[in-house]
Amino acid sequence: MRKKIIAGNWKMNKLIGDAVELASALKAKVADRTDVEVVVCPTFTALKSVGDVVAGSQVKLGSQNMHWEKDGAFTGEISADMLRDTGCQYVILGHSERRQFFGETDAGVNRKVKVALTANLTPIVCVGETLEEREANKTEDVVTTQVTKSLAGLDETSFRRIVVAYEPVWAIGTGRTASPAQAQEVHALIRKVLSKMCNPGAAQAVRIQYGGSMKPANAKELMAQPDIDGGLIGGAALDAASFLAIVDAAV
């Protein structure tokens, strides 16, 4: 039985004070929740402060990105060890906004995934098609390629540790959600691809989150699908009540 995982991707929102306030509210409300994993991913500048708030609690800390080198002359970048230093246990990699606006590629994501695992961070690896690709019936090809290339060369232990997030680009921040059936179809595809890359047992262990306008109103139905193991939440994660309602919908 896969434990559901609900992660809030706060994107480029919240100054330190607001981030700490939200994290404190979440920590108080999920204090006794062991039936679902709860992760918050603030901006780099708020990581340490939020990390201090949630340390030792049921709320886990994640980052929204990471560089693939250990250290060195990479102006403006943040390493896996630096993330660990703030208390991070998770890192979102290959988010569509990184791919779209910052030129991230599957090959780059693959390097980051391996480095994250070595540093004992759990990668949340994002994949998903654009509207244009969906309308051209390319969803299966696009998602298969992204999964295959982003997770190339991992051993079974690594496969069992990763989280995959299916985020159809056309559903992100648009209020337009994939229907439970549409999402389930792609989640099942992802699990099939994983099973070919590794083995069926490991593929069954991988948590696959859905992301893209997940809200309290649609979360339950989405997460009732057999291969949807949680959510990666953007807008609805910025407010404690709506994020907590999604956490409740997971169980």
Residues that bind ligand 13P (CB under 6 A): 9, 95, 167, 172-173, 211-214, 232-236
What one-character-per-residue DSSP string does 108-132 give?
Answer: HHHHHHHHHHHTT-EEEEEE---HH
Active site residue 167: yes
| 29 contact partners, CB below 8 Å, separation of at least 6 | 240, 244
Please report how close the Cβ of residue 165 comes to ligand 13P at its closest, in angstroms: 7
Q: Is 189 in contact with 144 (CB distance < 8 Å)? A: yes
Nearer to ligand 13P, 13 or 144 (CB): 13
Of 207, 212, 219, 213, give the one whose Cα is nearest residue 244. 219
Which one from 37, 97, 133, 167 is the annotated catalytic residue?
167
Secondary structure class of 91 (helix, strand, coil): strand
Please report how close the Cβ of residue 71 comes to ligand 13P at its closest, in angstroms: 27
Nearer to ligand 13P, 92 or 154 (CB): 92
Looking at residue 244, the DSSP 8-state letter turns out to be H
Rounded Cα distance between 227 and 205, Å, is: 11
- CA dihedral 47→161→210→60, nearest 10 degrees, is -30
Phi, psi angles (nearest 5°) of residue 211:
-140, 145
Secondary structure class of 61 (helix, strand, coil): strand
Active site residue 104: no
Please report how close the Cβ of residue 100 comes to ligand 13P at its closest, in angstroms: 11
Nearest position to ligand 13P, beta carbon: 234
Which one from 37, 67, 95, 187 is the annotated catalytic residue?
95
Nearer to ligand 13P, 9 or 146 (CB): 9
Nearer to ligand 13P, 122 or 213 (CB): 213
Please report how close the Cβ of residue 106 comes to ligand 13P at its closest, in angstroms: 18
Residues taking part in catalysis: 95, 167
